[in-house]
Chain A
Amino acid sequence: MPLNYSEEQSLLRDSARDFFTTTLPVSNLRELRDQKNETGYCTDAWQAMIDLGWGGITIPEEFGGLEFGYKGLGVILEQGGRTLAASPLLATCALGVTAIVEGGSAEHKKDLLPLVVGGEISLALAVDEQSVHAPFNIDCKALKEGNNYSLSGQKVFVLDGHVADELIVVARTSGDTTSREGLTLFLVNAKSKGISFHRSVMVDSRNACRINFDKVLVAETQVLGTVDQGAELLDFILDVGRICLSAEMLGSLQEAFERTVEYLKMREQFDVQIGTFQGLQHRAARMFCEVELAKSVVIAALTTLDDGADRTSIAEQASQAKAKVSEVFKLVSNETIQMHGGIGTTDEEEVGLFLKRARVAEQTFGGIGFHMNRWGELNNL
């Protein structure tokens, strides 16, 4: 498959850009933060996205979705990244939908996917239990009790966790705490008895939540995939999430970069535009090259998903994209602050929000070291 967007995908990208610039500009995130908004995203804007069909962008047509592929979701997320838009696109449409489409039973799909398309429910993936991403380091236990499982344990940094209607919970049904074997994914209704939510206020003003499970009863029909063999499914869900998150980060880093270049043309010191200084020009030019590389790893990874490549190739592309894009976003966000000078360190100027988002997104689903190591292992080095 060629590494460029089709005409349809380009049109979607353009309308997504218009949508986010007008409906969810960066100032929206600031409002959510300053008003301590309880949902953590603008529900009217989300409804507008649902009306555009974006809730079902990757969902098969038989369940009411657009079946437009991951490149479609990718271009939307990328444009959302440009305005740091908070929305359920990542947690529900990338992670949650993938979990149900890949691991759900016929009933799960029939019952839940149309509700996602209609914006009636949102989803969240509860996987990590500690500060550093370690998806197989799972202590949350699911004990078999008749036809049910009893879930107990704690999950942290669950994206959109506190507003989700259905949680996808990774729990241990056998094996040691660090073993890939013995993991099972459960679809758990958020209103189930024994679940408590504690919202985590993050530096990027986006949704994250600690969730405690105290002997939560889940019917065995709510298992996604195969009991004890959840790691492979989890890998895939996370890889989709990593690739989609990389697409979002790509939008954010491009926006930060472009704002910085504009600032270099506008700001004057020593009676000239600071963009005339070669010390800054060369740094900007190096960033330009890195941004171009980031674009390529993202579209390559999205293409792998749409091509239905084997899981190993997808894993490699996901780690490649997440590692590279995280590095580039780190570089660009730091240079953005430095090149804006003092104004860049103020809360009033928006570029600081991009710096904050850069680091949270980097840590989400594995940082640079995690993904470089994983890429190395996948390539036998």
Chain B
Amino acid sequence: MSEIETFREEVREWLQENCPESLRKRWADPFAEFSVLRKLRTGDSALWLEAMITKGWTAPTWPVEYGGGGLSRHQNAVLQAEMARINAPYPLLGMGLSMIGPTLLDLGTEAQKKAHMPGIITGDTRWCQGYSEPNAGSDLANIQTKAEDKGDHFIINGSKTWTSGGQHATWMFCLVRTGKYEKKQQGISFVLFEMDQPGITLKRIKLISGDSPFCETFFDDVKALKENLIGELDDGWTVGKRLLQHERSSLGASPAQPSGEKTKVPQLVTMAKKYHGEVNGRIANPELRTDIIRHLINRKAFKLTTKRAFDEAKAGASSGETTSMFKFYGSENTQIQHELMLEAIGTNAMAWEGDDFSATELETLRNWLGGKATTIYGGSSEIQLNIIAKRVLGLPE
């Protein structure tokens, strides 16, 4: 047996023993369950996290010295496939693993990696992002939050907004203004600090979906240690951009959970048949059917493109800067799916709440509203198109 097949058998056996049965299912919102801080975990979710931590498989490809799994890409593909096979959820989700962790691996000092990577990998820390401000959305470099140099630390004043999960976070990675500048991108620094300290106030933002996943965050003489400055002083834009690349690839690919079922009929089709009827096995409404087919073909083509990019990268053939494409196309496609779900269900999907309506009907509406943000956060669709036009196609400024 080849080495990789032996590995596969070991993984399969280990997962069988260690992944609690109760978790092996498709989660409507895996993030709510698996982004929870290590010390707040209970029951099977805690067991699963602890088991995976012993293997380093919350971060399978990261170096063993920080607590990662040290797997090769090939081994990781096997692990992912085996997890998908039994519908095992990712044991740990969040901005630690998807954004700041990869950025620290790229650009952090050895001391910074030693200080932060273990907590990211075990879920002992939970991270939030201090990027956007009231006047710095798409024009991110326009940030005004100030960090004053006090020798071994900075004192920060100002405010951030759209702080996703700010109320649960233990640490923030934050863009602050530290120096003078001619271009707005200059004089920005990238710092990390703890959320549990005096001077930080959070205010929840209620969205059109009724949900409040974001906060406004106010800083009043907040302290960040100098040792937690990532990259050079006044050169935080470089670090911030690197992190955005990691954010975009995670948003586009949306790896909320490994998906084991290949031939599963998309919920969209089930709903369309349920509410519009079937004629000879076809969705009875021909216009809706055509729209759904087009969308599903695009979805397949998009999935194939992520696989192709992965395979090309593995073979060492760089496919160029494609994260913007994944962010753009993935989020646009998600919105089309939400719109089609509304059409498939009809007026029942317009209900806000109440016992007359099924969970699916109510969720469809909330997902549609919640999904409006996907083409805005992480760099709006228009920003992604700017990036593709200039950096990929080389069109002039």
Contacts and interface: CB of A to CB of B under 8 A. Distances in A.
B325 A292 contact: yes
A197 interface: no
18 contacts: A3-B312, A4-B317, A261-B393, A265-B395, A273-B396, A281-B390, A282-B386, A285-B328, A288-B325, A293-B301, A294-B301, A297-B300, A324-B297, A375-B297, A380-B281, A381-B269, A381-B293, A381-B296
Contact of A2 (B283, B314, B325): B314
Given A295-B308, A297-B300, A372-B290, 19 more contacts: A3-B304, A4-B311, A4-B317, A261-B394, A272-B396, A273-B396, A275-B396, A276-B396, A281-B395, A284-B389, A284-B395, A285-B388, A289-B329, A293-B304, A293-B305, A299-B304, A380-B265, A381-B265, A381-B272
A288 B301 contact: no
Contacts of A380: 265, 269, 281
Interface string B274-297: 000000011100000110111011
Contacts of B325: 288-289, 292
Contacts of A300: 304, 308
Contacts of B265: 380-381
B312 A4 contact: yes
Given A297-B301, A379-B296, A265 B311 contact: no
A3 B311 contact: yes
A264 B393 CA distance: 10
A269 interface: no
Interface in A339-381: 369, 372-373, 375-377, 379-381
Interface string B104-127: 000000000000000000000000
B289 A381 contact: yes
A376 B269 CA distance: 10
B282 A381 contact: yes
B293 A375 contact: yes
B302 A293 contact: yes
Contacts of B388: 285, 288-289
Contacts of A282: 382, 385-386, 389
A278 interface: yes
Contacts of B168: none
Interface of B: 265, 269, 272-273, 281-283, 289-290, 292-294, 296-298, 300-302, 304-305, 307-308, 311-312, 314-315, 317, 322, 325, 328-329, 382, 384-386, 388-390, 392-397
A269 to B, nearest CB: 13
A380 B279 CA distance: 11
B301 A2 contact: no
Nearest to B325: A289
A217 interface: no
Nearest to A276: B396
Contacts of B315: 2, 4
A32 to B, nearest CB: 33
A288 B394 CA distance: 12
Contacts of A320: 297, 300-301
Contacts of A288: 325, 388, 392-393
B393 A372 contact: no
B80 to A, nearest CB: 15
Given A285-B388, A289-B325, A381-B292, A275 B301 contact: no
A281 B293 contact: no
Nearest to B283: A381
Interface string A179-215: 0000000000000000000000000000000000000
A4 B306 CA distance: 12
Given A2-B311, A282-B382, A320-B300, A377 B282 contact: yes
Nearest to A379: B296
